[in-house]
Amino acid sequence: MGIGIFLFLSIATFCTYGFANPEKTPSQLLVIACVALAFLIYIAIDLLKIFSLEITEKGIEKKSLVFKTKRHIPFTSILSIGKQKIRSRNTRGYISDGFTVSVLKLKNGENLIISPDSFENYQEIIEAIELNLQ
């Protein structure tokens, strides 16, 4: 993450200098720098969504990995656990059978999606949540 911040600041500084002094900066290099800056911003937005889950006796602890914020979700605020199938498709049809994600429906109207792609211990997390809901 530190390397990403360094790259972002370096490229942003170069872009600012390039727009302030267009006669000293090659236009092709400035375009490449702006595209790289847009790509870094796109990646950073996805990084903000990464979180970890910890099952406690009374609920689920959701921790943001970037900002280190914690949110406690009590088991009593979970209405249901649903399954949803995610399938990739192209113009000719489905590419694969896909995979199943679990969707926790909360009382406040939010949905928490727990995917096997994001968690190595996906099955244990779902089993622990289901056990505590009963």
| C-alpha–C-alpha distance, residues 65 and 49, integer Å | 8
Residues 39 and 57 in one domain: no
Residue 126 near residue 120 (C-beta atoms within 8 A): no
Q: What is the pTM of this model?
A: 0.63
Range of the domain at 32: 2-47
Q: Which of 96, 98, 102 is nearest to 122 (CA)?
A: 102
As for how many domains the chain has, the answer is: 2
Confidence of residue 52 (pLDDT cuts 50, 70, 90): confident
Kindly report, residue by residue over 96-112, the tens digit of the pLDDT.
777 788 898 999 988 98
Residues 66 and 112 in one domain: yes
